[in-house]
A and B are shown apart, each in its own frame.
Chain A
């Protein structure tokens, strides 16, 4: 059958539809052929990390550290998460929980935020570039300040300050910012667990 004898409208529809089908097939093929096998462990570890993106573990953020852990890195490099996070990750991976590695920083019980002594600030913007959370406000040659709600207390901004006007201050717990302590994922391990989950594979009775 000669294609050019078709009604022009039908021909246009056929050609465009054919093209779209062909391209869809190519993309469908590519989606299968070039599928990325994600590692589910990475996501689970990433969920347990505190997401402060502070970089104290030596990685640029929490997810890269989760990838590192999935590749066999030590799990005790996260000071913001503290012993609790280490225990949770150890539990997830089924290994013994090590102590927090002091080399990467100490865990503090009280949450801290950075504080800029504003009359000493020279407006160099170096702390702004260091902040992983964009929690420091200010521009060149103007005084900077910290948005307390955004600050995760990672203390990455303390080091770059040329005039040492940044200090870490404890966050006082008041009636307005007090939060109920979330139950840790570990709590279920030592207690009678009713529902077995992937999080607590060591619970007695979930093998049944």
Chain B
């Protein structure tokens, strides 16, 4: 149990995918203009990342590794992620129209989220077992959502702030993200 707690803390804070490993920056900058959409994106990513890390573990462990096809990992994982995203979209649309209305437009965006592929590849590189892979994916997604929500809350305030002309728009966003990354360095050495 303690192992899982360490994995969670490690992925959420210490090795945060966005601010420490710099994966998944596109949705981090792109969907963080509003708190509401950030929460939607966080929810959708959590769902897909957990599912995708489970599926890619299964594909890697029961198909690629026994056949000695480890070099096909990247392309196979991309296939897995695309299918998981598409399937999740259809399933949610049918079973919960309410959830679909909240997450709907963000689901296809996740296909191109490099954090999803990053988690799957790191799982195999670190030789995680099934439960470890699941928790690693889940923790990474929680960390992504946490940072996305925090960042969007800041950007909502930045939107009405009196920012000097050269720093307006994406520039101040990047500066803010950099400062946040610096702050997250403080968690280094926690685990």
Contact = CB atoms under 8 A, between A and B. Distances in A.
Contact of A26 (B69, B75, B83, B160): B83
Interface string A1-25: 0011000100110011001100100
B91 interface: yes
Given A16-B75, A30-B91, A11 B83 contact: no
Interface string B59-82: 100011001110010011001100
Please classify how large the interface on chain A is, using the bins under 10, 10 to 19, 20 to 34, 35 or more: 10 to 19
A12 B91 contact: no
A26 B68 CA distance: 25
A33 B93 CA distance: 12
Contacts of A23: 79-80, 83
Interface in B76-99: 76, 79-80, 83, 86-87, 90-91, 93-95
Contacts of A4: 67-68
A180 interface: no
A105 B59 CA distance: 60
A53 B160 CA distance: 27
Contacts of B80: 23
Contacts of B90: 27, 30-31, 34
Interface of A: 3-4, 8, 11-12, 15-16, 19-20, 23, 26-27, 30-31, 33-36, 140
